[in-house]
Every structure is written in C-alpha cells, then in structure tokens.
Amino acid sequence: MSVDRHPFLQQILTNIENTGRQVCVGLDPDIELLPAGYDRSLLGVEDFLRSVIDCSHDLVVAYKPNISFFEAYGIDGLRVLERVIAYIPSYLPVILDAKRGDIGNTSRMQARFLFDSLNASATTLHPYMGEDSLTPFFEYTSKFHFVLGLTSNPGSADFELMEMKDGRPLYCHVLDKIVTWNDRYHNVGAVVGATQSLFKSIACQYPTLDFLVPGVGSQGGGYTDIVDCQSPRLGLLIVNVGRSILYASQQKPIAESVRKSILSL
C-alpha cells in the first residue's frame, strides 16, 4: 500500500533508500574540540563543518545543526550557521534543532526566523505550553516539526516519566497529543531518545509516528537497536548521531575517520 508522505519525509525516505542508512549527522561545533589543523575560530568552525559535509553527504539522510552551538558565538556564529545550511546539498534536509515553543505571537516570530531566514527544513519544539504555542509552526505546512516526547537525558525522569492519574506516564499523553496534531496538520513527529529502554515498546505503540531519535553514539544508544524497530512501522526513524561522527578524528584530514565512524554503525 502506498503512503502519501510529507515532502520532507519523502526526501528522507528517498535518502534512506539511496544510502541504506537512517543516519542524520548532528552538527554541534565546539571551537575547543576542533581537530588539530583547523583554526580555533569561527572561520575554523565553518571550514570544519564544510569538511564534515563534504565527506559524509553520500552516506547520510539529513543534517541536524543545533542552533545553540552557533548562538553561543553571537551574530557571527549565526552567520556561520546560515552559510553552513546553504552549503548542505539541497537533497539533504536540514533539521534545525532549536527546541522552540512560546505564546502564539512569539512562536510566530521564532518560526519566521528558523524557516524564512535560515531556511530550515524542520525543527524541534517543546510541547508543554500546549497547542496554541505550536500552531504557528505547524502552519508552515511545507516544513516538518518534531515535538519532544521522551528525551534521551537523565532528567527526563523529572517530568516525562511521571505517572499520571490513569497510571500512564506523562510522555504517553504527550505522544497521544502529537498523534492528534499530526492527524490535523500532517507535518508533526516526535523526538524519542535512543537511550530509553522503552524505545522499542514506544516504536510499536506509535507505529505511524515519525521519530527523530537522538542519543546514539556518545550518549550510549545503539544504532542497530533503533533501526531494527523500523519494520513494520509506517513512521520513519531518523537516527541522529553527533559527537561520535563529528569528532571521529583528532586531526586534519578528517574524511577517512568520519566516513569510517558512519559505516561502522
């Protein structure tokens, strides 16, 4: 049975078919961690990220820059982000990890910046201020939105795993709501962390939802454990891997080490 997919998801699916992988590379640059041979400056950051893209673009399905790693360097850092996004080949979607979500008029401005100014293909959103805080994003119908469901950090236990009156944890109620939003807007998925022992059961319980899956690599999640959950799901699993790919080499040139780290997944 054919499934009509959002253009973002269709491009991801095409890239999965072409590469045989479901890897999204997280672009989270830290000047202090740049491999030897790159200048420890914003110019060095940009040179480094271009090198990563050059040697990995045929092996991955998307890139996920985390906006905070660019905002930390001020306006010039955001200009680097803008140029890096423009440098990424057009067939590779850019998921701009921004974790936005605020009262409606504020969210509208956030969405305008991420999508109109930076030309992101998708972003990440906080759910806890409710639907009206996310509607301005969902109304960008050509863009895709991953709402935080169950995250990969230990602090997820503080709220996301809390048991509600019906005996189900809070994250289940959030995922239920994400299903409702996707039924209405057709461009909403969920962030579910690979480090969670619950991942397999969540993947089965929500088979039509598309997941962005952080936590593989340095955070301890296993790539094959995640992709083994893909079949027979209709929703796609996009597995983000960051530091273990980004800093696979300690010195320039980095291409061999970066490619090896992706292929070894």
pLDDT in tens, 72-89: 999 999 999 999 999 999
Cα 192 to Cα 124: distance, rounded to the nearest angstrom: 12
Does the pLDDT value for residue 36 go beyond 70?
yes
Q: Which residues are catalytic?
A: 99
Q: Which residues are bridge partners to 64 per DSSP?
A: 26
Q: Give the pLDDT confidence score for residue 194 in this predicted structure.
A: 87
pTM of the model: 0.96
Q: Which residues are bridge partners to 88 per DSSP?
A: none
Provide the pLDDT confidence category of residue 139 given band limits of 50, 70 and 90: very high
Does the pLDDT value for residue 152 go beyond 90?
no
CB 178 within 8 A of CB 190: yes
Question: Domain spans of the chain?
Answer: 7-263
CB 89 within 8 A of CB 78: no
Q: Kindly give the interhelix angle for 74-87 and 42-56, rounded to the nearest 10 degrees.
A: 20
CATH (residue range 7-263)? 3.20.20.70
Query: Which has more confidence, 92 or 152?
Result: 92
Mean pLDDT of the chain: 96
Does the pLDDT value for residue 1 go beyond 50?
no
